[in-house]
Amino acid sequence: MTTILRAAFARSATSIAIGLTLSLAAGAGFAAGDDANLEKLGSFKKTNTPPPKRIAQDPTYIANLKKMLTNVKMPDGFKIDVFAVVPDARTIAVSRNTAAVWVGTRKNNVYFANDRDMDNVADTVEDFSPSVKFDIPAGVCYTPDGFMYVVERNRVMMFPAVEYFTEGS
C-alpha cells in the first residue's frame, strides 16, 4: 500500500512541477513588458499611465435589464437589482464596506466599480490597473485585511491597500 501511495505522490508531484514550469514559461513571455510598471506599483510609485478608461453606463440598457429582472423569482427576503454593467464579467470581489467591487473577465481586463454615495448603484466603472497586462484574469479575491488578488492564466498578483490607491496620472 505504501509503495502505491509513494508512486502516486511522485506522479502528482511531477505533474505539478511540469505544469508550474509551463505556466511560468508562458507567463514570462506575456509579462515581459510589465516589469518596470510592476516594480513601480510594488513601491507605490506613479507609472505615468493615462487615467483608466471609463465604461459608460447606458440608462436605456440598464432599464431593459431591470425589466428582465422582474421575471426572476427570488426567495423570500432576497432582492435582485442592477449594480453596474461591466463588459465580459466573470467573477466579482467586494470590499469590506461594499462600495468597491472588482470584476474579473476571461479577456484581458479587470474592472473596478465604485459606489461612492452608497446607494447600491456603481457611480463609475473603469479599468483596474491599466498599466498591467492581464492574461485572462478570471479570478478576483478581496481579503479581509485589504489585499486584492487577481488570478490569471499565468500568475497570481497581489495588490495591497487596493481600496485607497488607484492608478493613473
pLDDT score recorded for residue 1: 46
pTM: 0.71
**Enclosing H/E stretch for 64:** helix 59-69
pLDDT of residue 51: 82
Grid coordinates representing 39? 516594480
From 111, 110, 158, 162, select the one nearest 137 (Cα to Cα): 110
The grid coordinates listed for 86 are 461591466
Torsion sign over Cα 64, 70, 72, 75: positive
Question: For residue 47, what pLDDT is reported?
Answer: 64
Closest to 109 (Cα-Cα) out of 158, 28, 53, 61: 53
Task: Output the pLDDT for position 120.
Answer: 94
Q: What is the pLDDT of residue 122?
A: 96
- Position 147: which residue type? F
Strands ordered across the beta sheet of 110-114: 89-94, 100-105, 110-114, 124-127
pLDDT tens for the chain, residues 1 to 169: 444 444 444 444 444 444 444 444 444 444 445 666 566 555 555 667 778 899 999 999 999 999 999 999 999 999 999 999 999 999 999 998 889 999 999 999 999 999 999 999 999 999 998 888 999 999 999 999 889 999 999 999 998 888 876 655 3
What distance in Å separates the CA atoms of residue 148 and residue 127, rounded to the nearest whole number?
15
Which pLDDT score, from 0 to 100, does residue 39 have? 63
DSSP 17-53: HHHHHHHHHHHHHHTGGGHHHHHHHHTT----PPPPP
**So what's the pLDDT on residue 44?**
52
Looking at residue 164, its pLDDT comes to 76
Residue 103: the pLDDT is 97
pLDDT at 40: 56
